[in-house]
Structure 1
């Protein structure tokens, strides 16, 4: 049966967030050693922001002299050096790396000045799809700050034939056609331009019965997006760098908040010569960004593989003790004239009072309330959380580090504060001009 293309309104897009969630980029594979060396260069580099546009210099994170899909092995460590060749201070922000207080931006790693460097060790304790960006200090600057995918492979190979990354970014141009950063810059931003792995679109050719692992990464600065994969079963295997109980995406649709990562398995079960479109919806418009084409070559195997087994489980708790949890109300925006304690990243200081203090190992339940008229994104550093059911009597069968809270709604999340340290939390509205805000908490 042929599925009709998914049509999404902004309301459909936001409703799906809580429940969900050319050729490939070149890969750099680490060798089989306990420690690897990696240099990130934050530098301007040419990029074509559309098929009908000339190349323009944009800010990028480059590894080994070129943008790359970085792949390493579980239980390795990276000796990482960051060189800042941009005209503004920056600090690296890691999405999905749990329990490593030494890499926490602003509390452990100070901003790197233009022309400066920083060096630290990054232990790869969990497998998964990770995102590194330089956006904490990026609001209102001359350009958007860059992002970079980092893949940590499972210790036991997963039963897939190909493993590809789709890193999705949005760009906005000012009236002169130059890229601008989000936040209150005073400039009028045009409609979003989307790139996949630095290109306007992506084409992947599969042989019949080949199994593909697609790692979707929403590296957009502000936009929540939905992806519709036409005519194919899409089985979600992991969300936000952590294994999920596998499930089929309804109508082949995936919904991703800014920063969200989703790993999905797709089997090429369509007849030879057919093409399945991947369409991006942002609540206002939709466009095709990729195609999966089944070639007429000899099938990869005579029949499709059986249903994939769950990914290896990581060291997250099987249960959370909600009865003795520390419970904290966290309004994401001001309401009724009452100010909040959220601050702009450039004003952040650990001299300010933390949002809360918690004894190491105790469960924390946060009630995330959005009194604003627009949806808000919440991102938790250094931990993954469960999204609690409305009655606070259970949780969804996956772990997250990012969630979107719709206007006027409250979401409750729970996590174990199992590593001592000073950790950030972030929030922002899904509007280009909205500021990024942050607070911090202490596990001790």
Structure 2
């Protein structure tokens, strides 16, 4: 039932890159908001300059800003998100790890220069992501997302809590950053961590660190490896606690939009730990975890951590009585977000409280990434007789493959689905489904 992890990142092929889910990450951010029954949070889509290449002027990019690098909330928060659209295109706010109205369904696009208030709730703890990229393919600049943390109600025993947001940028020869959904020929590919090129993050020896890895890349499925650190313990994936397991040799695989929380104990050795990124073509340096000058926090590593507090998802799913449907990840039923209409037929319908099994069929010639809004799901084993020990909301499906997922329909409503090829120039496509 447990996920079989893959070889070290130096030998990861494109096929192997899509085979597992685990994690590692870094970069400190302060807690932003105190516990409260209801909170008001100001968000803004705005233009900014980001240094991406030495010797060239900072690149013009767009960003969803929330007043600090990470929006952090206590579990159970009720939110009024006031979004100001300072961009030159209509926007729609997408949220992973936050309960909120569906973009294009319960939430209509926001015109440039407009402002709207969106109600949301941090009903479950975990690492999430807010972004404005749904309508931004082919725009004048790429859009940067905003990391989100909803804290557990019960205390988690760690010494450091770090966010590690990985983003990709394509630069023209003149240094202009281009948006996805456009031709990437003759562009330079760069990866950043929290907006920086190859940062160094100082960690105290023998400190227990919760690393929240977020793949903020536009289309790329990535693998991350912490060199010389084999004990990387996966604790949560896509905002949901997992049955803890070890990522083999510290290797981590994430689809775009995917998030994974791991726990590591910083070794007492003085040598830095190199973090490498592999995107299916080559491995490259991404960041370094360096020992701080402070003395070790303790004499020996702590025992393995306890699982994170449960989020209320079911321990078991009854597959025998499940509603089953096949969902091709391409074809005429998928629409560009700008052409989406809620009057189109839903991909499937089900009553609340039922188990649904979807066969995600990728009949295209390349990897396709699918994101299911509103319903965390289990990835079923090939024989449909069990599932992996974690929940997901995003999955990369290889060319010519069919993956089956299962979930319990919780709340009635209309929910969005996204599909896109793992290719910079490929469009983002959408459909919707209904829980009655």
Matches of 1:32 and 1:147, distance apart in 2? 24
CA distance in 1 between partners of 2:71 and 2:183 (Å): 36
Change (3 A) 1:350 1:5: closer
| CA 1:188–1:404: 2 relative to 1, 3 Å | same
Q: Which residue of 1 aligns with 2:20?
A: 16
Which of 200, 203, 212 matches 1:203? 200
| 2:379 equivalent to 1:387 | yes
Shift of 1:5: 6.8
Q: CA deviation at 1:401?
A: 0.3
- Structure 1 residue aligned with 2:4: none
Would you say the 8 A contact 2:272–2:290 is kept in 1? yes
Q: Which residue of 2 aligns with 1:49?
A: 52
Q: After the TM superposition, which segments of 4 or more aligned residues of structure 1 sit over 6 Å from their partners? A: none
- Does 2:394 match 1:402? yes
Distance 1:27 1:281 in 2: 29
| Contact 2:224 2:251 survives alignment (8 Å) | yes
How far is 1:4 from its partner?
Answer: 7.9
In the alignment, the residues of structure 2 paired with residue 4 and residue 168 of structure 1 have an alpha-carbon distance, to the nearest angstrom, of 19
CA positional deviation for 1:178:
0.9
Match for residue 191 of structure 1 among 188, 191, 206? 188
Give the direction of change, closer, same or farther, for the CA distance of 1:366–1:106 in structure 2 (3 Å limit). Answer: same
Structure 1: distance between partners of 2:127 and 2:186: 30
The whole-number CA distance in structure 1 between the counterparts of 2:320 and 2:358 is: 14
Report SS of the residue matched to 1:396. coil
Equivalent residues in 2 for 1:122-201 (5 A)? 122-183=120-181, 185=182, 188=185, 190-201=187-198
Structure 2 vs 1, CA of residues 430 and 301 (structure 1 numbering), >3 Å: closer, same or farther? same
Distance in 1 (alpha carbons) for counterparts of 2:175 and 2:120? 38
Q: Distance in 1 between matches of 2:53 and 2:253?
A: 24
Aligned residue-pair number: 428
1:78 corresponds to: 79
Q: Give the stretch that moved more between structures: 239-248 or 282-291.
A: 282-291
Which whole-Å CA distance do the structure 2 matches of 1:190 and 1:285 have between them? Answer: 16
* Greater CA drift, 394-403 or 144-153: 144-153
**Matched residue, 2:90:** 89
CA–CA distance in 1 between the matches of 2:159 and 2:320? 44
Q: Is the 8 A contact 1:44 1:60 kept in 2?
A: yes
Shift of 1:25: 5.2
Question: In 1, distance between residues paired with 2:23 and 2:404?
Answer: 16
Q: Which of these residues, 406, 418, 423, is aligned with residue 415 of structure 2?
A: 423
CA distance change for structure 1 residues 293 and 415 in 2, over 3 Å: closer, same or farther? same
Aligned to 1:428, what secondary structure does the other structure show? strand
1:278 match: 275
Alignment of 1:300 with 2:297, yes or no, is: yes
Evaluate the alpha carbon distance shift between residue 304 and residue 91 of structure 1 in structure 2; reply closer, same or farther with a 3 A threshold.
Answer: same
1:373 aligned partner? 365
- In the aligned structure 2, how far is the partner of 1:382 from the partner of 1:193? 32
Alignment CA distance shift 1:155-1:114 (3 Å): same
Matched, 1:250 2:232: no
Q: 1:193 to 1:186 in 2, by over 3 A?
A: closer
Give the C-alpha shift of residue 188 in structure 1.
Answer: 3.3
SS of 1:407 mapped into structure 2: coil
By how many angstroms is 1:296 displaced? 4.9
Contact map agreement 1:163 1:212 (CA 8 A) in 2: yes
Where does residue 58 of structure 1 map in the other structure? 61
What value does the CA root-mean-square deviation take over the aligned residues?
1.9
Structure 1 residue 26 displacement after superposition: 4.0
Residue 357 of structure 1 corresponds to which residue in structure 2? 349
Aligned equivalent of 1:7, options 8, 11, 26: 11
Note the C-alpha offset of 1:51.
3.7
Partner of 2:185: helix, strand, or coil? coil
Q: Decide whether the 8 Å contact of 1:213 with 1:266 is kept in 2.
A: yes
SS at match of 1:346: helix
CA contact (8 A) 2:161 2:210 kept: yes
CA distance in 1: counterparts of 2:349 and 2:81, whole angstroms:
30
User: 2:126 and 2:8 mapped to 1: Cα distance?
Assistant: 32
* Distance 1:411-1:198 versus aligned 2 partners, 3 A rule: same
- Note the C-alpha offset of 1:175: 4.5
Contact 1:47 1:58 in 2 (8 A): yes
| Alpha-carbon separation, structure 2, partners of 1:51 and 1:287 | 18
Specify the alignment match of 1:40 in structure 2. Answer: 43
> What TM-score does the superposition give when structure 2 sets the normalisation length?
0.94
1:224 pairs with 2:221 = yes
For the 8 Å contact 1:25–1:68, the answer to whether it is kept is: no
In structure 2, C-alpha distance between the alignment counterparts of 1:189 and 1:145, rounded to whole Å: 21
Q: Is 1:51–1:200's contact at 8 Å kept on the other side of the alignment?
A: no
| Structure 2 match to 1:337 | none
